[in-house]
Structure 1
Amino acid sequence: MPFLPPEISDYILDYLHDDTRSLAACSLTCRDWVPTARYHLFASVTLHSARLCAAFANLVQRSPLIAPYVRELNVSKLSKHAESDSLLVERTLRTILTRLEQTHTLSVSLLNAQSIAIMQSSLTRNPSVTELHLQFCEFATFGDVIDLLSAFPELESLALRGVSWGDASLGHHAPRATSFPKLRKLRLGRDVDTSTLLDFVLCGSHHRSITELAACCTSEDGAAAVGALIENIGPSLRHLELEWCPSRLDVDAIFLPRALSPRPRSALESVSLRCVIPQDCSIPWVNAFLFDLESARIKQIAVEIRLLGDLDALNWEEFQKMLSEARFGGLEKVLVKVNLWSGVPLDKQEVKDILRKKLLNLEARGILHLA
């Protein structure tokens, strides 16, 4: 059989990264292909049933060399398992989590308080996880949230969406709060008690390492909490993604809360503003934010719009005029992304054509990007 250099075979196998059937066949064909095939086959593992938990636990027990290949673990929907499977899930999760010593990303979604408790009982301090995603999870107490986060001392990136807790107190979990990780990236989506979480972060001075922040604000209280965090992070903040979408949209205009106004002399390098344009409503808050923005390092500004109403709800003339000022002379990219909702009498190309005509100066500078 002709000899194929390992660099070439690895290159070919890399093209099959999402073709599990072919990768499995390759691993059975040639012993030299096994490491690369496993690298792609087990890079991301999803467990969404007691049966899958048991099967994967059995696999890593019988073939311990597989565990180091798992870089991302997704645990989802275990709340739907039968009561009789609870012990099985608890036992198998403990087996799995104690063996995945190279996993850097953990995603947990659609778990109720009981399933969260089962998972937490299986966790010890895990130094390998640096990125954690929690979506639509229910905790019994806020202290349980802190307890979970403290299990990952090297955690750098945290994303929360739809995370709730019954009791906002720390309770007996307070001592663990001292081991809270030093986050670099924090993403706060919808349906999170931002005030409680950020109050804890600020009171414990856990914000000092944050350089990237993404936050969705739907209330004045949430905006105040996010604003306080931005102010306390200060010039360490390099990248900001902000969505202001108040729960009440039956108004004529959506204004910028004072708490979210940019701080003077910031060191921001990129800003992304996300907004909804409802029917018969203007959104002056976007331009108001840019009016107050001062950063000598700003390189990129992005605006992402969910369009239900009139595209002219944002004053594009004012938008372009501000971004043409000397303070934005270092801009390298202005991205405008418009997501069309059903009922809007425009298509994607028509929207792009309209925006190009309204933003001719930015287009001429070669920095305008439309999506």
Structure 2
Amino acid sequence: MSPHSVETSLDSLPLELLEAIISFVDRRTLPSCALVCKRWVLASRATLFSSLALPNDLRTRSFLNLLDNDTPSTLNDARIKHLDLSSSPHSDVGSDSERVITSWASRTPQTHAALQAVFGHLTSLSVRFTSVWVTPEDLDKVWFRTITSLRLEFVIFEDQKEFQGLMKSLPFLESLDLSSVEVTRVGNKGEKEPESQSQLKSLSVAYIYDSATIALIAPFCVSLRKFEYDWHSQQYSSAQSLPGVGAILRAARGTLEELSLKTGSWAEGRTFDEGKFSFWLV
């Protein structure tokens, strides 16, 4: 039987039977098979590619080349729900990290369409060690609009417009985890109008000590239920963040149910003691 006949026969099988066949195949070989053969058992893509990790710049570029040089249909059925982007290890941050997210946002219209097609089911996004975040100006071209959970670590935004543009492009966001995030230029430090459509329910903030940067999150906290703030007391600048924390608490005063504060202290410069205090608001 020719390979084309085999593919045609597989395509005509019921989905339940295909899933039964997949369960008997060595899963270590399935990913390469599903990518090499465009028409091979669509059900395998939905099962095997629910999560995608691109841990460095090379992996990201290779994936983009796949989208540039092939039709999105190769990955459309992957139903990728979780995406992990990391440009480089922490020790190498700053080397080539600025190119990673920029390369995602500065694609051709065709590739934007491909990204939207491939990540049409994306619900969780994690980004680490990225020097510059770029959000497409046209919100219709934002390929991650469907996510409900976002984690950013060691990510830099050029200005507050870029940061708030990202937040506004995520209408379904429910969980936000920020660690060592920096906004280089923050304009008017006064509190902004609340985003009444925001669905953000859980917020975690760590290693961000600039009050104006933290306050940028406040307009999106009108539905916030849980707020966790990592306040390490060995950082003498921690107190400077309190006005920003206050802005978040005021924005969430009608909905907040749980407030958690994580503290820590150095003993003789060698050991670290930490504690966590949680308050349930009734």
User: TM-score per shorter chain, which class?
Assistant: 0.5 to 0.7
Unaligned runs of 5+ in 2: 1-13, 89-94, 233-237
What is the distance in 2 between the residues matched to 1:153 and 1:161? Answer: 21
Q: Deviations over 1:90-123 (max 9, x none)?
A: 326634433222211122222222xx23x54586
Contact 2:215/2:247 (8 A) holds in 1: no
What is the Cα deviation at residue 227 of structure 1?
Answer: 5.5
For residue 80 of structure 2, the aligned residue among 70, 80, 83 is: 70
Q: Which of the two has greater helix per residue?
A: 1
Which residue of 2 is the match for residue 109 of structure 1? 128
Cα distance in 2 between the residues matched to 1:241 and 1:15 = 46
CA distance in 2, matches of 1:137, 1:250: 30
1:170–1:146 CA distance, 2 compared to 1 (3 A)? farther
Note the alpha carbon deviations across 1:273-300, whole angstroms, 9 max, x for none. xxxx947x8x7x76xx58xx6768xxxx
Residue 185 of structure 1: aligned partner:
202
Distance (whole Å) between structure 1 residues aligned to residue 98 and residue 205 of structure 2? 32
Question: Size of the alignment, in residue pairs?
Answer: 245
In the alignment, the residues of structure 1 paired with residue 104 and residue 161 of structure 2 have an alpha-carbon distance, to the nearest angstrom, of 26
Find the aligned partners of 2:24 and 2:258 in 1 and give their Cα distance. Answer: 33
Q: Over alpha carbons, which structure has the higher Rg? A: 1
CA contact (8 A) 1:109 1:137 kept: yes
Q: Distance in 1 between matches of 2:98 and 2:145?
A: 32
> Do the aligned partners of residues 41 and 129 (structure 1) sit closer, same or farther apart at CA in structure 2, a change above 3 Å counting?
same
Q: What is the identity, as a one-letter code, of the residue corresponding to 2:199?
A: K
Matched, 1:158 2:194: no
Q: Which amino acid aligns with 2:187?
A: S
Q: TM-score, normalised by structure 1?
A: 0.51
In structure 2, give the amino acid aligned to 1:200: L
SS of alignment partner, residue 220 of structure 1: helix
Tell me, yes or no, if structure 1 residue 226 matches structure 2 residue 252.
no
Specify which of 141, 145, 159 is matched with residue 163 of structure 2: 145
TM-score (structure 2 length as normaliser): 0.65
Q: Give the CA deviation at 1:239.
A: 4.0
CA-to-partner distance for each residue in 1:307-336, whole Å, 9 max, x for gaps? xxxxxxxxxxxxxxxxxxxxxxxxxxxxxx
* Structure 1 contact 20–41 (Cα < 8 Å) conserved: no
Q: How do residues 1-371 of structure 1 correspond to structure 2 at under 5 angstroms?
A: 10=19, 19-22=27-30, 24=32, 34-47=41-54, 48=57, 49-59=60-70, 61-63=72-74, 65-66=76-77, 69-77=79-87, 80=96, 90-91=106-107, 94-99=112-117, 100-113=119-132, 116-117=133-134, 120=136, 124-125=141-142, 127-169=145-187, 181-190=198-207, 192-193=208-209, 195-202=211-218, 204=219, 206-218=220-232, 219-223=238-242, 225-226=244-245, 229-230=248-249, 233-234=252-253, 236-245=255-264, 249=266, 278=271
Q: C-alpha separation between the residues in 1 aligned to 2:25 and 2:241? A: 45
- Whole-angstrom CA distance in 2 between matches of 1:15 and 1:241: 46
**How far, CA to CA, are the matches of 2:87 and 2:44 in structure 1?**
28
Report if aligned partners of 2:148, 2:172 keep a CA contact under 8 Å in 1. yes
Query: CA 1:121–1:196 in structure 2 vs 1: closer, same or farther (change >3 Å)?
Result: same
- Tell me the CA shift for residue 184 of structure 1: 0.8
Kindly tell me: are residues 112 and 160 of structure 1, through their superposed partners in 2, closer, same or farther at Cα, counting changes over 3 Å? same
AA in 2 matched with 1:106: L
Is the CA contact (8 Å cut-off) linking 1:146 and 1:180 kept in structure 2? Answer: no
Aligned residues: CA RMSD: 4.4
DSSP 3-state at the match of 2:29: helix
Percent of aligned pairs with the same residue? 20
- In the aligned structure 1, how far is the partner of 2:241 from the partner of 2:206? 11
**d(CA) in 1 for partners of 2:51 and 2:223?**
28
Q: Does the Cα contact within 8 Å between 1:24 and 1:37 map onto a contact in 2?
A: no
Aligned equivalents of 1:145, 1:295: Cα separation in 2: 29
For 2:228 and 2:24, how far apart are their aligned partners in 1?
33
Cα 1:187–1:217 change in 2 (3 A) is same
